[in-house]
Amino acid sequence: MSKDIKQKRLFSEKKVTRKTFEELLEEYLRYSKALNRSEYTIKAYKYHSKYFLEFIGKNFLCEDIDIHLIEEYLLYLRDKKGLTNGTTLNSYIRNLSPIIKYGYRKGYIYSDFEFPTAEEQEKVKEIYTAEELDKLLEKPKSRNFVEIRTWAMIITFASTGIRLRELRELKIKNVNMIDRTITLNDTKNKKSRILPISMALMEALQDYFEYRGGESEEYLFCNVFGEKISQTAVQKSIKDYNLKRGVNKYSIHLFRHTFITNAVNQNVSPLILKKITGHTTMKELNRYYNASPRDIVNIIDDIAPKPTKKKKFFK
């Protein structure tokens, strides 16, 4: 039997599995769980697939997925769903990409292609000012647990640049007051790291522990029932707290931007800062630096050229 005939026979005998995208999604979510990917990553895959399922329909076959469909999907997100921001559009495509690539490797999708990327207009994010931080970090006079807890969370965000999901996973045992360190074992990139505790943060945590109490295995920032606090509860409590103190910003992620910007302005080594924040690349770290107009104006006289002064011939 010739080689060509043998190859054709093997190809014709190969069983082709036909799956809908919905079936592929369920398989990929199980696969992700088996690989021990974080619950946040798995939720992101599920969440960012909802519009794609809506776009293609429940019984759409994987074999019909190609680059043209993805391009049409981008138009659908923009024109029908009103998602005009490049960053938002790319997040939907980025979380769809590994599912489709997995489908291609499994033979459910026949077309291999590079995913399109929407152009992003980068915007300068206004960080928390020193005056705003002073308002937020002043210890509450109230003995209300929720207010004390919110204050302790804010000073932790502002003093470490910790992510929201990392803060929610913290347990009492992760805080070492003797060595002044916080150990993060549940992180975005699954790499544990150590955060330093400033003297101000240590004093704030000591005050918080007087209200919190609890055992070493319990969550550091819990709800009123002693359970892990929800993301929504953290966001709401910080929004209410900030507005009550006259600070109209209440983005939690902005504390991370502020921490990194202040660290750079204090000439902290980028390598040390990268270790503290848990960024994998310097490029990613650089995106978080937000030089304020005041910072730029303060240094411009040192770097701008100065014209040579000439004698005045007229008085």
The predicted-structure confidence for 201-251, as pLDDT tens digits, reads as follows: 999 999 999 988 889 999 999 998 889 999 999 999 999 999 999 999 999
Cross-strand pairs, 181? 176, 196
Cross-strand pairs, 196? 181
Sorted by where each starts, the structural domains of the chain and their CATH numbers stand as 17-106 (1.10.150.130), 130-298 (1.10.443.10)
The residue count of the chain comes to 315
Q: What's the confidence (pLDDT) of residue 11?
A: 46
Task: Please measure the distance between the N-terminal and C-terminal CA atoms of the chain and give it in whole angstroms.
Answer: 106
Are 137 and 166 a contacting pair, CB within 8 Å?
A: no
Q: Which of 97-101, 185-189, 256-260 has maximum average pLDDT?
A: 97-101
CB atoms inside a 10 Å sphere around CB 33: 11
Q: What's the confidence (pLDDT) of residue 314?
A: 45
Nearest residue to 21 (alpha-carbon basis) of 44, 41, 43, 49: 49
Are 24 and 60 a contacting pair, CB within 8 Å?
A: no
**Distances from the Cα of 125 to the Cα of 91, 134, 258, 268, angstroms:** 19, 20, 10, 21
Q: Strands 175-176, 181-184: parallel, antiparallel or unpaired by DSSP?
A: antiparallel
**Distances from the Cα of 262 to the Cα of 133, 150, 273, angstroms:** 12, 22, 11
For 193, phi then psi, to 5°, come to -150, 170
Measure CA 27 to chain center: 25
For 146, phi then psi, to 5°, come to -60, -40
- For residue range 149-193, what is the model confidence (pLDDT) as tens digits? 999 999 999 999 999 999 999 999 999 999 999 998 877 767 788
- For residue range 36-59, what is the model confidence (pLDDT) as tens digits? 888 888 999 999 999 999 999 989
User: What sign does the dihedral 294-125-40-146 (CA atoms) show?
Assistant: positive
| Lowest-confidence pick of 8-12, 126-130, 196-200 | 8-12
Are 105 and 84 a contacting pair, CB within 8 Å?
A: no
Q: pLDDT class for 17, splitting at 50, 70, 90?
A: confident
> Is the pLDDT score of 26 beyond 90?
yes
Q: Which residues contact 32 (CB under 8 A, 6 or more apart)?
A: 41, 42, 45
